[in-house]
Amino acid sequence: MINKELQKRILSSLIILPVALFFIIKGTYFFNFFLLICLFVSIYEWHYMSQKKEYKIPGIIFLILSFYTAYYFRNEFYGDYLYFIMILFICVFTDIGGYVFGKFFKGPKLTKISPKKTFSGVIGGYLFSIIFIILFFNYFDFISEITNIKTKAQELSFNNFILTIFISTVSQFGDIVVSYFKRKSKIKDTGKIIPGHGGLLDRIDGMIFAYPAAYLIYKILY
């Protein structure tokens, strides 16, 4: 039997994800507007969470830089916005896998910082992200058609697997970092804007670390 909290979580996800994809796919102006709204909400939640702490300003600067890297991968990175979509959904599936495995398999806790995080959740995060990347490239033609990605069909490669594991790891690290600051502020969620999920930062905690990490790797290697 699905509890009410999980029902809210599923329902809000079914609403939010298509809306987010609409703004992402629609184009530059729509996406930039959507990104700015998310940035302002994130800064507000961080302001609420950090209060008068010394890390408030560094956190705001980090959020601005993080959102810039998301903007970069959507609007300026070569090859259309293929990698923006990839990073986004690797984070989403990592989060889903972590939640599902942690909920049903439980097991040893990963860290005291975030009591709900388990080793089984970490494995689930990796497993779901790998399943996503396999499906993504196997059905690339269909995905590129509905998302209007103009990049030519790609093939699944070893580098894609390494990128997936790397992004999934960074995403889970971001989740723990935000949990650490929530714990320091003695709050459960960063906000209440998303029913069943909490605040916006609760949902994009992995992404705000994943996009900058991918950006740094690209700049270092290329």
Q: What is the pLDDT of residues 93-111, one digit of tens each?
A: 999 899 889 888 888 888 7
Strands (E), the chain: none
pLDDT digits (tens, 9 = 90+) for 31-58: 999 999 999 999 999 988 887 678 899 9
Structure tokens at 32: 């930039």
Q: What is the pTM of this model?
A: 0.88
Residue 3 has pLDDT above 80, yes or no: no
pLDDT digits (tens, 9 = 90+) for 152-199: 656 777 888 999 999 999 999 999 999 888 888 888 888 777 766 678
Alpha carbon distance 181, 55 (integer Å): 10
The DSSP call for residue 3 is -
Alpha carbon distance 33, 123 (integer Å): 35
- Residue ranges making up the domain that contains 17: 4-221
Closest alpha carbon to 124 in 135, 134, 114, 132? 132
Residues in the chain: 222
Domain count, the chain: 1
